Amino acid sequence: MTGYHVAIVGATGAVGHELLKILAERNFPVERLTLLASERSEGKTIQWQGREYQVHQTTEHSFAGVDIALFAGGSAALTYGPPAVKAGAVVIDNSSNFRYDPQVPLVVPEVNPEDVRWHKGIIANPNCSTIQMVVALKPLHDAAKIKKIIVSTYQAVSGAGLPGLRELQTQTEQICRGEQVTPSAFPYQIAFNVIPNIDVLLDNGYYKEEMKMVWETRKMFHDEDIKVSATAVRVPVYRSHSEAITIETERPLSPEQAREILSAAENVVVVDDPANKKYPMPLYCSDTDQVYVGRIRKDLVFDNGLSLWVVADQIRKGAATNAVQIAELLVRENMLGANRG
């Protein structure tokens, strides 16, 4: 088999465009490409790999002959995921629709690649904040067993899509001109401000974005006993999320050991020389696929504790790249192409 029939649902959005970019960069074996979106995008064209592709409206009949369907996000997978599976495709969904379904694997290839083997047609992509955290923490968990995680996220406005990006730019310009700003994409002004409110507030006082990190970490680590407390904050940064993480481990782990372990981990880059002001920052980590870790130090609260700083591009590794990596994993496991004869 020389290639696969790939469909992208939500091809005209930010994540859809990123999926196309990453499929090309990683030379994924695409033999045939189908671009799908909502009715309003019907007839649009997109250039990819020197060819022009027409965008079609997504329907239940859009997936004939498709090997893999990449859903960029939103609610589309609830409606069109089951028909895609019925047609023989493997669905990789970037939304939260199936993440907590016990029958659906939630996968980060560097963390729990084995879980793709029990999929029943749908594989869920985790939340962007969770992805970068677990990539950094899983090697430490394997070495010393993490018992507790306390994480504060500093999340870029692009996590709220194009409206978030436009709002930060517009408000910054308005404030610099001395004009009044009116929030739209966020509950308050985001320019020159931080907002500790992402997604809906739950009964336990945590926002859903924070609880996603609890539920998803436990599912991918296969450990319901691990304790996670998260605070998610929107910050006036265009792209790439940052996280301050403190862990308590069952066995002692020194900062030196942690650096050695993380330096050898897949798709982790250690940038940890604070004396010379070298540490991960969104400014330098955007438009990359790695998870960057620095400020690794002994925690002053837990006896077996470490604190670290983690940055990653949430549009790439936190969404599109992880989805394509799952597709690559399916190729390696020979789990694609069942409907090609």
Please give the positions annotated as active site.
128, 241
DSSP 201-263: BPTTS-BHHHHHHHHHHHHHHT-TT-EEEEEEEE-S-SS-EEEEEEEEESS---HHHHHHHHH
Other C-beta atoms lying within 10 Å of the C-beta of residue 114: 12
Q: What angle do the packed helices 128-144 and 255-263 form, to 10 degrees?
A: 120
Q: Which residue, among 228, 232, 244, 217, has the nearest Cα to 308 in the 3D structure?
A: 244
Cα(48)–Cα(20) distance, integer angstroms? 7
Residue 144 contacts residue 303 (beta carbons within 8 Å): no
Residue 23 backbone phi and psi in degrees, to 5: -55, -40
Q: What angle do the packed helices 321-332 and 14-25 form, to 10 degrees?
A: 50
Pairing mode of beta strands 241-249, 305-312: antiparallel
H-run or E-run covering 295: strand 291-298
Q: Which residue, among 317, 269, 314, has the nearest Cα to 293 in the 3D structure?
A: 269
